[in-house]
Amino acid sequence: MDQSEPTGDPGTPAPPPTTPTAGWAAPPPPPVQAGPAGFVYADVPNRAIALIIDWIALIVISIIVGIVLVAIGLADAAFGATDFGIGRIIVTVIGLAVSAGYFIYTWTTMRGTVGMKVLGMQVGNAGDGKTLTTEQAFRRWIALGAPFSIGQLFGPLSGIGALIALLSIGWFIYLLWTTYSSPTKQGFHDKFANTMVVKAARSAG
């Protein structure tokens, strides 16, 4: 009589169950570009509108910060910095702090800025959709928001100020172009920080 071989070693422990992680599954490779399951890659128009909303939010926050500066006697540094001096440097540092704090905080705690949330988008780690680390958020902000805040520092300088302004506009166009031309809608800032922006897919019917 034939004896069948055992199908498994009874002494080998079963593999542990898979624990689900927050985020999304890794997106399919090209040429399929439907985005992670349940999501689509966020397009440039939606992201541009979200960024405009965020700029408005930053203006409101900056006004509040300015009021606080007035209250503690730093009104000249907040509103009167019309030349390249200590006042302008203070304004730039404050602007950088506000911008960094806004973007890094919302990306790492809300998975998206106010503008992104309004339009149903979120940002996460490119591979698995997990919430961004502080380092990722900082790298993304360095590429996305820091150049424009730094450009404000040189605004009063004739010649150099205009050149910096043009470079800032050029950088913004470059980010838009790299986002538009990417199959996964990852601009340079996303590739630099290994991040991805997605939008919930509409259900059929």
Contact (CB, 8 A) for 149 and 96: yes
pLDDT in tens, 158-175: 566 667 778 878 888 899
User: Over pLDDT 70: what percentage of the chain?
Assistant: 64
Ordered by start, the domain boundaries in the chain are 39-197
pTM of the model: 0.73
| Cα–Cα dist 2/4, whole Å | 6
What pLDDT is attached to residue 201?
A: 78
Burial of 198 (0-12, 13-18, 19+ CB in 10 A): buried
Across the chain, how many H-helices and E-strands are there?
8, 3
| Cα–Cα dist 181/39, whole Å | 19
Number of C-beta neighbours around residue 63 at 10 A: 11
| Cα–Cα dist 42/48, whole Å | 10
In sequence order, which residues have a C-beta less than 8 Å from that of residue 180 and are 6 or more positions away? 44
- Segment of 37-51, 76-90, 135-149 carrying the highest mean pLDDT: 37-51
Contact (CB, 8 A) for 124 and 130: yes
The pair of structure tokens assigned to 183 is 């199959």
What pLDDT is attached to residue 31?
A: 41
Inform me whether the pLDDT recorded for 4 exceeds 60. Answer: no
